[in-house]
Amino acid sequence: MEWRTDWGLRGRMVVTMLLLGVLYVLFAAALSLYFTGLLPIVLIMGLLAGAQFFFSDRLALRSMGAREVEESEFPDLHRSVGRLAQQADLPKPTVAVAETSVPNAFATGRSPNSATVCVTTGLMETLDRDELDGVVAHELAHIKNRDVAVMTIASFLPTIAFLVVRWGWLFGGGRNRRGGGGIVVAIVVSLVVWILSFLLIRALSRYREFAADRGGAVITGQPSALAGALAKIDGRMDRVPEEDLREQAEMNAFFVVPIKSGFVGKLARTHPATETRIERLRALEREMEVV
């Protein structure tokens, strides 16, 4: 099967970004209750958005304790990433490895030219070669769809709205020139913006996983390999020490399979149910056999 544009993904991205744009306007209106001019609002939001966009990849790798590795250290992994990137018509991304028993992988980076694919040592110990190829191809599909950049930009608004709620509640009292009522309105609007954008982004995140599953299966030509990898990873999660799960839970939106244990993992689903993803991959396998 050849790579096809996923118009369902594109449509959901457009709708989500339009709705987030409306929320941006409401959020800017809330910030105007803190500041008398438009310039401080634009500068604050612009600086924070730029920082998140340009440094999110480094923060993601650092939070996982991951490091870039040379081909001499992990030759098989480098060969796999290079070969699959060529099949996906992508430049070879930087390869990183995280020393952790949590079996998982993620991609990060602003664009295909600055992307990194990271796998954990636990993943390499759990999967066979075809299954590992399936997971790497899934991450390359995220890069090809520019999911990392889109999700980073989309997640900026709820992050800032949360900060307004948190710090405005703690320190905003009495400082607003327009009275305490303005502070309350700003906090309420920011809270609503945070909740709505949070739900929108989670919905987009779940669908992008389906799209990356399909894209990864098209790259390798073996949907069953990714299906087997998902089943193995999901099964291993229950046997990973609780300390490791809690430490890595903040990376849920990046992982190929989310961590289900702990408060963060249960707060909201960033991924569809593994069983549903496997069913779709099995159906895709049958479709490819017919073709």
> Hey, which residues are catalytic here?
139
Sign of the torsion angle spanned by Cα atoms 35, 37, 42, 47: negative
Name the token pair of 132.
């590992």
- φ/ψ (deg, to 5) at 118: -120, 130
Name the token pair of 152.
């980073």
Residue 55 CA to residue 35 CA, distance in Å, equals 27
Name every residue whose Cβ is closer than 8 Å to that of residue 261 and which is 6 or more positions away in sequence.
237, 238, 242, 245, 246, 249
- φ/ψ (deg, to 5) at 102: -70, 120
Helical spans, DSSP H, in the chain: 7-31, 38-64, 75-87, 121-126, 129-144, 147-171, 180-220, 223-237, 242-248, 262-267, 274-290
* CA proximity to 150, closest of 46, 267, 9: 9
- Three-state DSSP at 137 gives helix
Contact 213, 277 (CB under 8 A): yes
* CA proximity to 152, closest of 260, 254, 23: 254
